Structure 1
Amino acid sequence: MSLSVDIRHRLGKLDLHVAFQAPTGITALFGRSGTGKTTVINAVAGLLRPAAGRITLNGDVLFDSGARLSLPVHRRRLGYVFQDGRLFPHLSVRQNLTYGQRFAGRAPGPSLPEVCDLLGIGDLLDRRPGALSGGEKQRVAIGRALLSRPRMLLMDEPLAALDSARKAEILPFLERLRDQTEIPVLYVSHSVPEVARLATTVVVLEAGRVARAGGAEQVLSDPDMVRQLGLREAGAVLPATVTAHHDDGLTELAVSGGRLFLPRMEAPAGTRTRVRILAHDVILSRAAPDGLSALNILPARVIALRDGSGPGVIVQMQTGTDRLLARITRRSAAAMALQAGDDIHAVVKSVSIARTDIGTS
């Protein structure tokens, strides 16, 4: 199922003109505050009528200004998860969940037991929202949306109101939602770690326009996106497979360019993962390093160098079939005489990769 959006709208000083395709999986609308993310998702939901354009879902027209067509919200069959959950406080979790079923009709979709198993909320059914943690409330809100049996889920910064512990709690459930259902998701976020963990497709918005759109690995490893993503958040996402757990507490992963050793992961051998490696955690060496404490050394070839506004340089590399970024000083790049086409080695410390930057694929 695919969402196609091509809309124009003016909201205050923001002149929005956005066009993109969102295929099956999680499509992340990423950008800073004020770039038009919520305007776009509300237009898809039918909560806002754009000045002009067209929105279709799997070929069905939701909005077409030329034909003067705008389906009402209830006929679009979309599930919406807001930032704050918006559960009914006077109803139990079970009653909140089954409330969504009132709008499902005879549409195919998951049952209550299936949703409870997917989101780990079976033991919460008799509790009221006031007795739930923030992460539990959001899981119930997602369950309620799923039980309305939507053709697509819309999520507007669903983790923004949660602390880091609650985010870490709910991220695996969102990964399960992505991997175990066929329901496409349009996910609004300004958090690079969230996008790197969850998204299959990324649409970067800037000043009401699409700055870049494509697969998560390609967009997040694009050196031209460093300004939009933020210098401290610049990095790359590498698909990987768990190959072994070692007695010294390290887990070995296979990536297209070699292997990585990370602090032990609770995942069986054969599990497909994705690992986010920040550009400032990568050191470059022309010769194969010898006598280093770092265990992760990947052979790579320089693709491009991008000067920053300060003393830094972003180096984009190819390692195997994947892309990797390194942020080094301009002085170091000059001393190494780096240029596109050079063969080098990328060095990454095992302990520099945070657990929140390792997800399922």
Structure 2
Amino acid sequence: MLRVDVSKRLGEFGIEACFESDGRVTGLFGASGAGKTSLINMIAGLLRPDRGIIAIDGETLDDTMAQTHIPVHRRRIGYVFQDARLFPHLDVRQNLDYGRRMNRLAEDGALHRRVTDLLDIGNLLDRRPGKLSGGERQRVALGRALLSQPRLLLLDEPLGSLDEERKEEILPYLVRLRDEAGIPMVYVSHDAYEMRQLATRIVMLRRGRVTAFGGTEVLPAALARV
């Protein structure tokens, strides 16, 4: 269960968001500038709310009244960005291992095989990021996040920098991740098609406010992709 009840002032822009979700994939949906990235940055601990509470499965990460703020490295939250952010000087195997080493986790060969099989990246392990397609880089970024053994996975427009062909390549892997990995996710997008494919609960955001919460029926009508 993810509980968010926060407010945050960012210059002239303000966020006032309150929701609880036990969905496998909680989608944060809204136009550019709606506050989606700022909200997941608060969940990640990269931004501190001015007021409110953030909790996962009953554990409080932020509580401004109690002056509680769990730092980023202790939250056990994985974060996948739009641009993958792989280390160009490391090969795929080393990039995948980075999250485990940073979290001082023991090597787990079974988990490594399960993740590389899930994302179909076992044949990429010896390549450098510069030799990968955009879709392959995002799959490696997903694998790196999973191997850090998070209790929650944040995905900030992970398909946003890809063309339509690469998006269609990655979507099935995200669906498999939702159905097989057993890790709850918060998925940020302004694309209703992506949300319909992936999200089990939707938080609609507009100008920093939650305007609707529910299943995919709260999404606006959208044309199918061709």
Structure 1 length as normaliser, TM-score?
Answer: 0.60
- What is residue 283 of structure 1 aligned with on the other side? none
Higher Rg: 1
Show the 5 A alignment for 1:94-243.
Answer: 94-102=93-101, 103=103, 105=105, 111-216=111-216, 218-220=217-219, 229=220, 234=221
CA RMSD across the alignment? 1.8
How far apart, CA to CA, are the structure 1 residues paired with 2:69 and 2:106?
23
Flag structure 2 segments of 5+ consecutive residues without an equivalent: none
**2:60 aligned partner, one-letter code:** V
Is contact 1:92-1:128 (8 Å) kept?
Answer: yes
Deviations 1:134-163 (A, max 9, x none): 000000000000000000000111100000
Q: Summarize the Cα distance change of 1:142–1:57 in structure 2 as closer, same or farther, 3 Å threshold.
A: same
- Give runs of aligned pairs for residues 275-314 of structure 1, distance below 5 A: 278=223
Partner in structure 2 of residue 34 of structure 1: 33
Partner of 1:90: 89
CA distance in 2, matches of 1:184, 1:110: 21
Contact 1:104 1:149 in 2 (8 A): no
Greater helix proportion: 2
**Would the aligned equivalents of 1:24 and 1:183 in 2 still touch at CA under 8 Å?**
no
> Equivalent pairs: percent with the same residue?
56
TM-aligned CA distance change 1:32 to 1:109, over 3 Å:
farther
Contact residue 100 and residue 106 of structure 2 kept, 8 A: no
The one-letter code sitting in structure 1 at the alignment partner of 2:190 is H
**Count of matched residue positions in the alignment of Structure 1 and Structure 2:** 225
Aligned partners of 2:5 and 2:17 also within 8 Å: yes
**Structure 1: 5+ residue stretches without partners:** 221-228, 236-277, 279-352, 356-361
Q: Which structure's residues are more often strand, by fraction?
A: 1
Indicate the SS of the match to 1:94: helix
SS of the residue 1:111 aligns to:
helix
Query: By how many angstroms is 1:128 displaced?
Result: 0.3
Q: Give 1:22 deviation, angstroms.
A: 2.4
Distance in 1 between residues matched to 2:182 and 2:56, nearest whole Å: 14
Deviations 1:235-294 (CA, angstroms, capped at 9, x unpaired): 5xxxxxxxxxxxxxxxxxxxxxxxxxxxxxxxxxxxxxxxxxx5xxxxxxxxxxxxxxxx
Distance 2:107 2:76 in 1: 10
Aligned to 1:74: 73
TM-aligned CA deviation for residue 99 of structure 1: 1.1
